[in-house]
Structure 1
Amino acid sequence: MTTTLAQSPVSAPARSRPRRRRRGPSAYAVLVALAALAGIMLIPFAVVVFNALKTPAEYTANGPLAPPEGLHLEGIRDFWERVGFGHVLLNSLLISGSVAVLAVLLSVLNAYALGIGRIKGRMWVLVLLLMANTLPQESLVYPLYYLANQLGLYDTRVSVIIVFTVIQSAFGTYLLSSVMSAFPRPLLDAARIDGANRWQILWRVVVPVVRPTLVVMLVFFFIWTWNEFLIPLIFLISNDNQTVSVALGVLQGQRLMDATMSSAAALLGLLPTVVFYLIFQRTLSRGLTAGAIKE
C-alpha cells in the first residue's frame, strides 16, 4: 500500500525590507528651526539683491527693505563700467585659483614629509606652522612689502600669489600632516614591496586616499583668498592689478557710489564665490562628512 505524504509547500523566507524610521515631533521641530535659521541668514542677501535692482529714486522713496518695482540694471551696469569689473574679476579669479592650487600642492608635499616621512624635528616644525597661523597680517605687511620691493615684485599679481600660497599652505600642512600621520602603514608597505618609489607612493597611494580633504582645502583656500583685502590693497596699487575686494573698498572710500550701486557692487563681488561653492558643494559635503582615512 503506497502512502502519499502531503507536503506543505515551504514558503520562501520573507525578505527583510528596510523599515523607514518615522520622524517624531522633535525631528520636525529641528527641521523647522533649521529652515527658519536659513531664512534669517538669507535676509541680508535678499536685501542686497533688492537694492541692486532699484533705481536711486526708488530706493529713496521706498527704503532699503522694500522689493524692487521692476528690473533695473543701471546700478550694476554703471559699477561694471566704472571699475572695469571684467578685468578686476579676472584678476581675482587668477590670484585665488592659483593660490588654491599651489597651496594645496605645497601642503601635500610638506605634509608627506612630516606625516609619513617622519623627518627630524617634526613637532617643532608643526609648532612653527601653528604659530604662523596665529600671526596677524598687519605684522607681516612691512617685511613682505620690503622683500617684494627688493625683488622687483611689488605691484604684481605674482607677489600676492606667492604670499598667500605660503600663508595658506602653513595651515594646509598643519592639517594634512595630522591626517597623513594616521595613514595605514600596510598600504605603504604593500606599495614598497611592489617596487613603488616615494614619488609613486605619494601620487598613486596617498593622494587618492586623502582626496576628500584636498578638495575641502581647495575650496576654502579659494574663498579665503578671494575675501582678502589688506595685503592686496597694499601690494596692488595700480588699477590693472586690483582684485574685487580692493576695487570695492577703493570706490566706497572715494564716495563715488550711491546705495544702489553699492548693493550692485556687493552682489557682483559675492556671486562668483557663491557659484564656486555651489559647483563644489556636493564634493565639499562628502569631504567634510567622509573620513579621510579608511582603515
Structure 2
Amino acid sequence: MTRGPGRWAVLSAFTVLAVVMLLPFVIVALNAVKSPAEYSSGGPLSLPHGLYLDGIVQFWQRVNFGQKLLNSLMISAAVAVLATLLSVLNAYALGIGRVRGRLWILVLFLLANTLPQEALVYPLYYIAKQVGLYDSRLAVVIIFTVIQAAFGTYLLSAVLGDFPKAIMEAAAIDGASRWRILWRVVVPISRPTLTVLMIFFFIWTWNEFFLPLVFLISNDTQTVPVALGVLQGDKMMDATMSSASSLLGIIPAVAFFLIFQRTLTRGVTVGAVK
C-alpha cells in the first residue's frame, strides 16, 4: 500500500501537533529538576546540569502532598463508581423502562449539565452547612456524584434505548426479573461503555478546582488542584518549586491515562463497531 503526499502531510501535521502539546510538559519537567541558581542564570528554556530534586522534596513536605494525593484519589474513585452506578440505574429506567415523561426528564438532565458551577455554589454551600457536611470529603463526593450522573444518565439513556430487546425478552422468558436482567444481561454487555464513562468521571473529578476550593478549606481535606492553586500566589515559592508542584500535579493524571489507555481504546472501538 503506497503512501501518497496527502498521508505524509497528515502525519507531519499530527507530529507537529503532538510536539506542541508535549512541549509545555517537557519545559515544566526540566524546570522542576533545576536549581534556583540554574533557573536564574539560564532561564526556563535552558537544560539542567544535573538532577536537583530539592524543589520536589520541599514542595511535597510543605503541603503534605501525600495527603492531598490520597484525598484526590479517594474522592475521584468514589465519584467515578457511584456516578456510574447511579447513571446505570437511571438510564435503565429511562432508556429501557420507558417511564412516562422520559423525554422531559432527559431534557432536565441535559439542562442540569449546562448550569455553571458558580450558580450552584451558594445553595450547595448553604445545604452543606445546614447538614454539617461542610469541609468534608463526603460533601464533595455527593455533589460531584450527582453532577456527573446527570451527564451519565443522558448518555446511557441513548445507549440503552437501542439495547436489543430480543435478549431481554429471552432472559424474561427464562424467569429473570428486571433487576436480574439489569445486572446479568445489560451491565455485562454494556461494560465497555460503562468503563469508559467511569474513567472520564475519574479524570473530570480529579481536575475539578472551583467547588473543592469552596468546600474543602482545611489542610487535611484539600485535593491536589486546590493545593496547587492556593500556593500559586505564595511569595515563598520559587520558580523551580512551582514547576515541581505542577509536575507532581500532572503525573498522576498522566499515569492514570496511560494505565487505562487500552481500556479507553477498546471501549471506543466497541462503541464504534456497535
TM category (shorter chain) comes to over 0.9
Give how far 1:210 is off. 1.4
Question: What is the DSSP-based 3-state SS (H/G/I as helix, E as strand, rest coil) of the residue aligned with 1:154?
Answer: coil
1:217 is the counterpart of 2:200: no
Render the CA deviation track for 1:128-186: whole Å, top value 9, x for unaligned. Answer: 10000000000100100110111111110000000000000000000000000011111
1:195 to 166, 169, 175: 175
Output the CA distance in 1 between the equivalents of 2:145 and 2:231. 27
Give how far 1:218 is off. 1.0
Render the CA deviation track for 1:53-95: whole Å, top value 9, x for unaligned. Answer: 1011100100101121111101100100000000110000000
Contact 1:96-1:222 at 8 Å conserved across structures: yes
Unaligned runs of 5+ in 1: 1-20
Give how far 1:291 is off. 2.1
Q: Note the aligned Cα RMSD (angstroms).
A: 1.2
1:100 to 43, 66, 80: 80
The equivalent of 2:217 in structure 1 is 237
The equivalent of 2:271 in structure 1 is 291
The equivalent of 1:261 in structure 2 is 241
Question: What is the DSSP-based 3-state SS (H/G/I as helix, E as strand, rest coil) of the residue aligned with 2:245?
Answer: helix
Contact 1:211-1:292 at 8 Å conserved across structures: no
2:150 to 137, 150, 170: 170
Output the CA distance in 2 between the equivalents of 1:218 and 1:273. 14
The equivalent of 1:16 in structure 2 is none
1:252 is the counterpart of 2:198: no
Output the CA distance in 1 between the equivalents of 2:235 and 2:142. 32
Greater displacement, 248-257 / 269-278: 248-257
Output the CA distance in 2 between the equivalents of 1:110 and 1:268. 37
Unaligned runs of 5+ in 2: none
1:180 is the counterpart of 2:199: no
Amino acid at match of 1:289: T
Output the CA distance in 1 between the equivalents of 2:90 and 2:235. 45
CA gap 1:293/1:31 in 2 versus in 1, 3 angstroms: closer
Q: TM-score, normalised by structure 1?
A: 0.90
Output the CA distance in 1 between the equivalents of 2:204 and 2:80. 9
User: Highest Rg: 1 or 2?
Assistant: 1
Question: What is the DSSP-based 3-state SS (H/G/I as helix, E as strand, rest coil) of the residue aligned with 1:290?
Answer: helix
Give how far 1:28 is off. 2.6
Contact 1:179-1:293 at 8 Å conserved across structures: no
Give how far 1:292 is off. 6.9
1:72 to 40, 52, 60: 52
Contact 1:156-1:236 at 8 Å conserved across structures: yes
Aligned length: 274
Output the CA distance in 1 between the equivalents of 2:273 and 2:262. 19
More helix by share: 2
Contact 1:100-1:219 at 8 Å conserved across structures: yes
The equivalent of 1:33 in structure 2 is 13
Question: Which runs of at least 4 in structure 1 moved beyond 4 Å after TM superposition?
Answer: none
Render the CA deviation track for 1:6-44: whole Å, top value 9, x for unaligned. Answer: xxxxxxxxxxxxxxx333332232222212211111000
